[in-house]
Amino acid sequence: MAEKKRGEPLVGIVMGSDSDLPVMEEVGKILDQFDVSYEVTLSSAHRSPDRTIRYAKSAEERGLEVIIVGAGAAAHLAGVIASETILPVIGIPIDSSPLKGVDSLLSTVQMPGGVPVATMAIGRAGARNAAILAVQILALKIPRLKEALKAYKEQLAREVEEKAEGIRKGSM
């Protein structure tokens, strides 16, 4: 299947607060690397429930194919969005509260049967993985992304080889 016109967002990125931006920026960096278009917004399950529901309900007709959601503390944002869309929702628990993300991990992952949220690791690694998982989902229909993912895997392995070589030659 042909890819949509370049520039139309395929991925929606939603975060609960602008304080989540430093972690969520990692999602954009990876999507940029794969040349996948996305839109970014803020909404809160608790502070702006109407906005959150409007976003989720309109996501599919606006052409999005995957939604990535980051929230901290009592993180219900991904779950609420998942309840109002048939699109795959990927959740990133953010370590913004005194409980350091364990609270948001449990709030994001412990969905009742029937309403999945694909929950990533807490924090920046989770943000990186959310973006890669989104690319993997899109690659089911977009051949150039399959090739880019294969190259990405090779790059990861190359980086380990180079670091191993550096340690071998280093001062250990």
Where do contacts with ligand RP5 occur on this chain (CB under 6 A)? 16-17, 19-20, 44, 71-73, 94, 96
Q: How far is the CB of 169 from ligand RP5 (least distance, A)?
A: 42
* Contact assessment for residue 90 and residue 120, using Cβ atoms and an 8 Å cutoff: yes
47 vs 57, which CB is nearer to ligand RP5?
47
18 vs 61, which CB is nearer to ligand RP5?
18
Q: How far is the CB of 73 from ligand RP5 (least distance, A)?
A: 4
Strand-pairing partners, residue 11, are: 38, 66
Q: How far is the CB of 78 from ligand RP5 (least distance, A)?
A: 10
In 3D, which of 43, 48, 11 has the Cα closest to residue 27?
A: 11
CA 99, 103, 104, 109 torsion-angle sign:
positive
Angle between helices 143-169 and 124-139 (to 10 degrees): 140
15 vs 64, which CB is nearer to ligand RP5?
15
